[in-house]
């Protein structure tokens, strides 16, 4: 059994983060899942939320992701999402403004697109708050 995981966090347009980790926590359609070295193979659907990665040197990296896939096999973890953003790259005030705008637009016409925009904004806000211990 390997002592580390090889992790890749990939958005549709770019590699967001890659490296060695000792643990990863993600939110799936079945609930939160923790991945440690030696984890059984897994393929799961993710929901909008936060990915929490503990690196092999003890750092914690937090990212916001929207719906996507989580794959675990042979101590390799792939997180594939349409959108993914590291917490330290997120503009918190912009995310809050995006959330407010999505809620207002949804009140006016109830379009599914606004619900998706609101969920993405909420995930970004949670990522920043988690990264800063709030």
pLDDT per residue as tens digits for the range 48-80: 999 999 999 999 999 999 989 999 999 999 999
| Per-residue pLDDT, 110 | 54
> Any idea which of 2-16, 37-51, 61-75, 98-112 has the lowest mean pLDDT?
98-112
Helix (H) or strand (E) holding 36: none
| Per-residue pLDDT, 120 | 83
Count other C-beta atoms under 10 Å from residue 36's C-beta: 15
- Average pLDDT (32-51) is 96
Q: What are 34's strand-pairing partners?
A: 25
- Average pLDDT (95-119) is 74
| Per-residue pLDDT, 7 | 98
Angle between helices 112-131 and 92-109 (to 10 degrees): 160
């Amino acid at each position: 059994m390997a002592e580390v995981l090889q992790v890749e966090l990939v958005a549709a347009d770019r590699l967001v983060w890659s490296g060695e980790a000792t643990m990863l926590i993600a939110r799936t359609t079945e609930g939160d899942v923790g991945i440690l070295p030696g984890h059984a193979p897994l393929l799961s659907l993710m929901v909008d939320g936060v990915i929490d990665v503990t690196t092999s040197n003890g750092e914690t990296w937090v990212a916001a992701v929207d719906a996507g896939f989580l794959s675990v096999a042979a101590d390799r973890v792939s997180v594939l999402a349409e959108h993914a953003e590291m917490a330290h790259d997120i503009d918190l005030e912009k995310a809050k403004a995006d959330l407010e705008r999505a809620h207002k637009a949804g009140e006016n016409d109830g379009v599914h697109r606004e619900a998706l925009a609101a969920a993405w904004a909420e995930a970004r806000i949670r990522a920043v708050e988690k990264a800063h211990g709030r």
